[in-house]
Amino acid sequence: MSKKWVTLCLAGCFGVMLGIAGVNSSSAYAAEGKKLAMEGTVFDLKASSSLTVYGYVSDKAFRPVSGAKVTSKPSKGSSESTTTESNGSYSLNVEPGMNYTLSAGKGSKKAKAVKLRIKDSEESDLIVNFQLK
């Protein structure tokens, strides 16, 4: 795949957007740290050094649990929480070079907490699944 710099400037606008263009791209999708493809051009949207931890929360019978609270508590700073979707999925942002404790629960049912040590050099999103007891 050949790459070239693309500069996009809208008339009457002072904003400039830089991206990396690629060939053979036809799908359109976007998420933080992912690539966006529009009409054959790919723009790299990785603007920060954050990563995503995502996964599913299930019950003892491995059925998805909606409305469960998933919390990430970093070694420094404040915790972040989210609630699972109807299919039991969740996602949370984390920073490289940090240690986290992830936990999940709904009502009196809790899952065993997971400790994560994310290296400074980590570039891939992480998957952590929970099973409530």
Please count the other Cβ atoms lying within 10 Å of the Cβ belonging to residue 58: 19
Percent of the chain predicted with pLDDT > 70? 63
| Residue 78 pLDDT | 94
Sequence spans of domains, the chain: 4-44, 51-131
Instruction: List the chain residues with pLDDT less than 70.
Output: 1-49
Domain range 51-131, CATH architecture:
Sandwich (2.60)
Please state the pTM of the whole predicted model.
0.63
| Residue 127 pLDDT | 95
Cα separation of 5 and 26, whole Å?
19
